[in-house]
Every structure is written in structure tokens, then in C-alpha cells.
Amino acid sequence: MNKFRLLKENISCLRINIKLPFLIFYLFLFLFSLSACVSHLKEAKYYYTQGQRFSRLYQTEDAIASYKSALREAELEVKKNPSAQGYMLKGMAELNLELWEQAEKSFLNAFSYGFEKGEEWAQQLSLFGLASSLEALGLGDTALKIYFYLLNKSKLRAVTVSAAQKYTDGILKRALQKKAEEKQKLLVAAFKVIEKLTNKDLSCGFYHYLQSQIYSHLSDYQKSFEEALMAKELGLPTLEIFRDNDLQIVFCYQQLKEKLSVEKWDKFLYQYKKWVKRWGWKNPVTPGWKKEAKHAPIN
């Protein structure tokens, strides 16, 4: 009897011993999959926040890399566990990577999962896409109206900035084809629009860059210089815009040299030299990145 009981206990012990590793394995698997689900969303949020931080510092390459990681994590998240939050994050990452069509779909998906603003955001992206298509088809005036609407109404920063850029480009292009008086009117109107945006978001270097470009068309080189300086100090989104802005500073310097009175010029030059030193330029007309010997300007 005792033998039988012992045998029974041994067998049940063996069963427990066999079951236990399986149980632990399944428990680990469950915990791992649970943590993986949580971590995709968490990681997506982390990378997106990083991207925003880099964007604010105008470290474009780092920002793009972070948004791409955020997008990858958000994609994994919505695949496993579709939700309003997951789709919204996915859409925001796509928006910052200028993947307009994908972002529009993601916001619509977010809306279908209960994110109320998703539909409105998707509509704004749809409008932006429509304006780009109209522009490509040669219907520039209609496109310009849509960009104007978006830069006034959109609450998505990426859309507002892109619309401001397209709008300014369009107006400047038209201004070049007009006669003096009409040109002036167009430029002043465009300036007011961008100034309004700058007042709303004073730390956006790109808006200052656009203002500087408009002032340049208005031949107000002092103000163009000041705006370009602000843009340089606040940071610009791409290397080519950064370089173009530097060349705008040099251009203003050269124009002011010719146009200012001796007294005003001396005052300006004193300040300008301080900036040149701060930026580490080779001389007043050669930014650090520019070749000196071959392409040095005459004056």
C-alpha cells in the first residue's frame, strides 16, 4: 500500500516537474508578448518625442531618424493592437516625414477607432495633397487659395509650415511677373500673412527665412538682413536653405554697403563683424562652408 502511495506521489511529482517548465515557459511567453505590446506603443511615443526635440533644435537628420523609428514602432503596434492612439502616433510620424497620403489614412483610421480630430486632420492633409496636384496641373491660383486657407486654419504645424512655404513661393513667383505697383501690393500682402504666422510661432526660423526673402524682393535689405539673422540663429530645416540664408546675409551686407550713409554703415559694420566672428566665418562675405580662393567675391 505504502509502495503504491509512494509510486503515486512520485508520478504526480513527475507530472508537476514536467508541467512546471511548461508553465514557466508559457508565463514568460505571455509576459514577453504583453511587454512587447506595451513597448511598441511606448517606444513609438519615445521616438516621436525625441523627433520633436530634435526638430525644435533643427537637427533635421536626427529628427528624421527618430520619426522613422517612431513610425516603425507605431506600425508594429497597430498591426498587433489597432487603436486610436496607435494610429494617431503613426499619422503624426508620417506627417513629420512628409508622407502625406499615408498620414491621411492613419488619421482616418484613428477617427474610426474613436479619435475625434482624426477626420479633420485627414481632411487638411487631403486638401494639401489636392493643392499640390492642382499646382502640378498648372492651376496655381486655386492651389494658392488652398494653401492660404490651410496656413490660416490648420492646427497641424507640419501642414502650416509646408503651406506657408508653398504660398510664399507662389506669391513671389507671381510678383516677379508684375509691374512695380502691383508687385509691391502682392509682396506686402504676402508679408502680412507670414508675419502673422511668425507672431504666432516666433521661434520658427523658417518663417523668418521666408520674411527675409520677401523683404529682399521689397529691396528692404536692412530688414531682410535682420530676419535672415534671426533665421540663422533659430535654425533652419535643411542644409540648402541654411546655405541660401547665409548667402542672403552676404547679399544684404553687400547691398547695405552701397546704400547706407557712412555713419549708418559704420554702425552696421561694427555689429556685423561681431556676428561674423561669432559664426566663425572666414571674412564678411565668406561663410565657413564656402570656398574662398576660387569664388571669393570682388569686394
Partner 1 sequence: MGKSSLEKVVEKGISFLSKIFPLKTYLYFPLLYASFIWAIKRVKEWKEEIFSLKVWLDPDRIEMKPDEFILNFFETNPALNKTYEAEIKKKDLVSLRKNFFRLYPIIGLEDPFLSALFYEELKSGDFEKIVKEFEERVSQAEKDIEAFNGKLKLLEGLKSFANEMISLNLDLFSQDKVQDIFAGLIKKSLMNNDE
- Choice from 125, 144, 216, 228 touching partner 1 (CB under 8 A): 216
- Choice from 10, 81, 133, 219 touching partner 1 (CB under 8 A): 219
DSSP string, 110-148: HHHTT-TTHHHHHHHHHHHHHHHHHHHTT-HHHHHHHHH
- Choice from 88, 146, 228, 285 touching partner 1 (CB under 8 A): 285
H-helix segments, the chain: 2-56, 60-80, 84-96, 100-112, 118-136, 140-153, 157-177, 180-200, 205-217, 221-234, 239-259, 262-279
Q: Does residue number 81 form part of the binding site for partner 1 (CB under 8 A)?
A: no
- Choice from 173, 192, 264, 273 touching partner 1 (CB under 8 A): 173
Report the nearest approach of partner 1 to the CB of residue 214 (Å).
10
Q: Does residue number 295 form part of the binding site for partner 1 (CB under 8 A)?
A: yes
CB-nearer residue toward partner 1: 62 or 120: 62
Q: Does residue number 1 form part of the binding site for partner 1 (CB under 8 A)?
A: no
Q: Does residue number 286 form part of the binding site for partner 1 (CB under 8 A)?
A: no
Cα angle: 198, vertex 202, 208; to 5 degrees: 55
- Cα 76 to Cα 33: distance, rounded to the nearest angstrom: 12
* DSSP for residue 238: S
Q: Does residue number 228 form part of the binding site for partner 1 (CB under 8 A)?
A: no
Q: Does residue number 297 form part of the binding site for partner 1 (CB under 8 A)?
A: yes
- Per CB under 8 A, the segment of 31-39, 110-118, 149-157, 239-247 that binds partner 1 is 239-247
